[in-house]
A = this chain, B = another copy of it.
Amino acid sequence: MSRVSRASTKKNAAASVVGPAIVLIRPQLGENIGFAARAMANFGLTDLRLVAPRDGWPNEKASAAAAGAYATVDAATLYETPEEALAKTNYVIATTARPRDMVKPVMTPETAAAELTKRQRSGERCAILFGPERSGLDNDAIGLADALVTAPVNPAFASLSLPQTVLLVAYEWQKQSGRAGLGRSTQFDGPAQEGTPMQNTRPAEREEIFGLFDHLERELDAHGFLQPVEKRPTMVRNIRNMFHRMQLTEQDVRTWRGIVSSLTGGKRRKP
């Protein structure tokens, strides 16, 4: 196994810390290292540490699976033991599918992300440990950690893959660190936000909606739809409620007025 010098290891790791280090202990498949790197890049994590990867390092399959997250793979640092990988960290969480044998706090990914964010804000350097695909972390590795993280899964089918686990932990960290918008940004604008976007329009004003109601109800009266007369108030109310549930935009109101005009006017009206 090739190995970087300890000095360069420290420097690389320190330079890139913007979230917890992801520490993969004896990962077996290069693909999974690449998938993990991709998940890290998706959620803004950059500090990937590899302890004794089975197939050596660098690994072509890891680079291929990273699907563009080359910077994360290329910046990965290599260690011979978990203790070396964790030497400069202050707080360590271990991932496990079955946190049973130790008196150690058990957290969901969400709680763990909150704890990590809080500690990082006060300057602590944090890491999350992940075990080999086949076996997960052994008890000696878990003994190096302050706390355990375990996902809420279907207990009858609980086996998350290594990159899936990295993805969930990184996703929750991104949510809690509070720096992300939604989805992709482009050269034209940033990521999206929750809510209903109105880029080329705006929510309709009630005056506009009332104008549509007047137009539609006048035509419905003219065509004899709002009959019998004693049912008219209920029918009108129901129709108005349907329109309100649409949360119409100003453009929508104009479209509907066009629809009503089209259906009631024009050449087809009385052929």
Q: Is A164 an interface residue (CB 8 A)?
A: yes
A164 interface neighbour in B159, B167, B199, B251, Cβ under 8 Å = B167
Stretch at the interface among A78-86, A116-124, A179-187, A219-227: A179-187
Do A41 and B154 touch (CB < 8 A)? yes
Report A151-184 residues with CB < 8 Å from chain B CB: 151-161, 164, 167-168, 171, 174-175, 180-184
Chain A at the B interface: mostly helix, strand, loop or mixed? loop
CB distance from A231 to the nearest CB of B (A): 28
CB distance from A104 to the nearest CB of B (A): 7
A155-B171 contact given A103-B196, A199-B100, CB 8 Å threshold: no
Q: Is A207 an interface residue (CB 8 A)?
A: no
A157-B41 contact given A108-B194, A183-B98, A183-B150, CB 8 Å threshold: yes
How far apart are the CA atoms of A105 and B184 in the complex, in Å? Answer: 17
Q: Which residues of B contact A152 (CB under 8 A)?
A: 171, 174-175, 180-182
Q: Is A39 an interface residue (CB 8 A)?
A: yes
Q: Is A132 an interface residue (CB 8 A)?
A: no
Q: Is A33 an interface residue (CB 8 A)?
A: no
Query: Residues of A within 8 Å of B, CB-based: how many?
Result: 62
Q: Is A201 an interface residue (CB 8 A)?
A: yes
Q: Which residues of B contact A184 (CB under 8 A)?
A: 97-98, 153, 155, 158-159
Q: Is A75 an interface residue (CB 8 A)?
A: no
Closest to A158 in B: B184
How far apart are the CA atoms of A196 and B146 in the complex, in Å? Answer: 11
Do A160 and B103 touch (CB < 8 A)? no
Q: Which residues of B contact A171 (CB under 8 A)?
A: 151-152, 168, 171
In the complex, per-residue mask of A195-223: 1 if CB is within 8 Å of any chain B CB, else 0: 11111010000000000000000000000
Q: Is A128 an interface residue (CB 8 A)?
A: no
How far apart are the CA atoms of A156 and B41 in the complex, in Å? Answer: 9
Question: Nearest 9 pairs between A and B by C-beta?
Answer: A155-B185, A158-B184, A152-B180, A150-B182, A150-B183, A41-B157, A44-B154, A155-B191, A97-B183
In the complex, 7 of the A-B residue pairs with CB atoms within 8 angstroms, ordered by the A residue number, are: A42-B154, A99-B183, A100-B197, A106-B192, A108-B182, A155-B180, A155-B183
Known: A97-B183, A164-B167. 5 other contacts (CB 8 A): A43-B154, A105-B195, A106-B197, A151-B182, A167-B168
